[in-house]
Amino acid sequence: MRLSTPAAGFDVDLDTVDLFDPWLYAGGDPHPIWAVMRRRAPVHRQELADGRHFWSVTRYHDSSEVLRDHQRFTSERGTLLCTLGHGDPAGGKMVTATDPPRHTELREPLNRALSMRAVNQHRPRLQQIARQILLPLLRDEPWDLAADLAAFPMMFTGMLMGIPDLDWPALTRLTTMAIAPDDPEFQEGNSRISLVTAHHGMFEYFSEQVFQRSRREPGPDLIDHLMTLTAGGRRMTHDEVVYNCYSLLLGANVTTPHAVAGLVLGFIEHPQEYRKLKQDPTLIGSAVEEGLRWASPANHFMRYAREDVELAGVRVPAGDALAVWIGSANRDSEVFEDPYRFDVARGGKRHLAFGFGPHTCVGAPLARISLRLILAEILELVEEFQLVGEIEHLCSNFIAGVKHMPVTATLRPGAADRLAGLVEAGPVLTGGGSAGGRA
């Protein structure tokens, strides 16, 4: 999805706008449309050709209200537009599709396992991963940074979850299929078949993992943690473990790479911001937050109104779905001064890139640490990036992503030696052991 600045005076007939259409995000540009919506129709009803409908919420404060208030806006009937009108079989079982109080019971042990403190213990390994993913910079040829970065989160989530590394590439592809079933590059058959194949593949994989692990002593990884933790006074059921493994993997895989790609693109389009960061690396944390706001990789999340509600003066009837457009909320000038300015010193965690309220991303500490580490590596290694080809955007209304971004880089003095040293040291990563499942 383009990270653009709307032209002054841009206008559009909102009755012709289709925010559901994944192709809008692959080839078009929702930012000018969102700007008009925030101004004229911040809670806007859209009807699809098949009669289903939903409300688009585009302002920051309305968005945080919907995400925060689980009493009035439920997650249990599905949180992604691809489930609109169909319900969600994971409702009440998967953390992301469950309301409090059960949500709190499922989430609390995950919070502990993925806290900043817990994740910090893996920092040396995460740092190696961040370096390893940047190795292609050594080659004196264009590097498709966005395509290669797709493997980045799988390397750290795979490691934390104890998923054998042989299975990482297939799982990475399945997660992308699940969120971009309309994208020809990830499609198998048609979009419906792709979605079913992706879900089936991942559920079967994790089911097998759980089955195999149930026959041995539990280890310290996240899957074993899910299998042994007590949530609300009882162990999770087989289905609950499988759904939550899926949720963790999807949550990490489909978002993190696009935050990195968004940041690097920000540096290419605003070289003064990269220079500012090189001069003052203490801005890394702030730059990561700005990258998250700028890229807003999770583009929307959905809720259903439990009762008639009024939002921005609009009455939304009970039972209707509302899509919160995070990319729009993060450009709201009510909250972000000069919102279309990419500013590595802006800092602050006010953005909604990780959501808001009870479902705020449970992987945020892991994402933040990983992003800071990779940015620190980039700063050490790269003097300047150059874009050397066409950027291709993901065809998805859920993930605002870049799938191809060919770049070259001018390396900083000593960077080549540093990277070469890593090559000589050999591969640093394994997910541990042989493939226990069938991805």
Interface ranges with ligand HEM (CB under 6 A): 67, 75, 79, 95-96, 107, 114, 157, 247-248, 251-252, 255-256, 259, 297-298, 301, 353-355, 359, 361-363, 366-367
- Give me the DSSP letters along 420-438: HHHHHH------SSS--S-
Q: How far apart are CA 200 and CA 179, in angstroms?
A: 14
Rounded to the nearest whole angstrom, what is the least distance from the CB of residue 254 to ligand HEM in the complex? 8
Rounded to the nearest whole angstrom, what is the least distance from the CB of residue 101 to ligand HEM in the complex? 13
SS3 292: helix
Rounded to the nearest whole angstrom, what is the least distance from the CB of residue 269 to ligand HEM in the complex? 20
Rounded to the nearest whole angstrom, what is the least distance from the CB of residue 377 to ligand HEM in the complex? 17
Rounded to the nearest whole angstrom, what is the least distance from the CB of residue 96 to ligand HEM in the complex? 4
Rounded to the nearest whole angstrom, what is the least distance from the CB of residue 89 to ligand HEM in the complex? 16
Residues 128/428, Cβ–Cβ less than 8 Å: yes
Residue among 95 and 178 whose Cβ is closer to ligand HEM: 95
Token couple for 115: 């806290």
Residue among 252 and 316 whose Cβ is closer to ligand HEM: 252
Token couple for 170: 């297939």
| CB-closest chain residue to ligand HEM | 363
Token couple for 404: 């191809």
The residues, ordered by sequence, that sit 6+ positions from 79 with a Cβ below 8 Å of its Cβ are 88, 96, 97, 301, 302, 303, 359
Q: How far apart are CA 155 and CA 128, in angstroms?
A: 10
Rounded to the nearest whole angstrom, what is the least distance from the CB of residue 363 to ligand HEM in the complex? 2
Rounded to the nearest whole angstrom, what is the least distance from the CB of residue 257 to ligand HEM in the complex? 9
Q: How far apart are CA 17 and CA 54, in angstroms?
A: 13
Nearest of 125, 202, 134 to residue 159 by alpha carbon: 125
Rounded to the nearest whole angstrom, what is the least distance from the CB of residue 382 to ligand HEM in the complex? 21
SS3 144: strand
The residues, ordered by sequence, that sit 6+ positions from 162 with a Cβ below 8 Å of its Cβ are 219, 221, 222, 223, 224, 431, 432
Residue among 36 and 158 whose Cβ is closer to ligand HEM: 158
**Phi-psi sector, 55: left (phi>0), alpha (psi -120 to 50), beta:** beta
Q: How far apart are CA 228 and CA 181, in angstroms?
A: 33
Nearest of 203, 168, 343 to residue 267 by alpha carbon: 343
- Give me the DSSP letters along 248-282: HHHHHHTTHHHHHHHHHHHHHH-HHHHHHHHH-GG
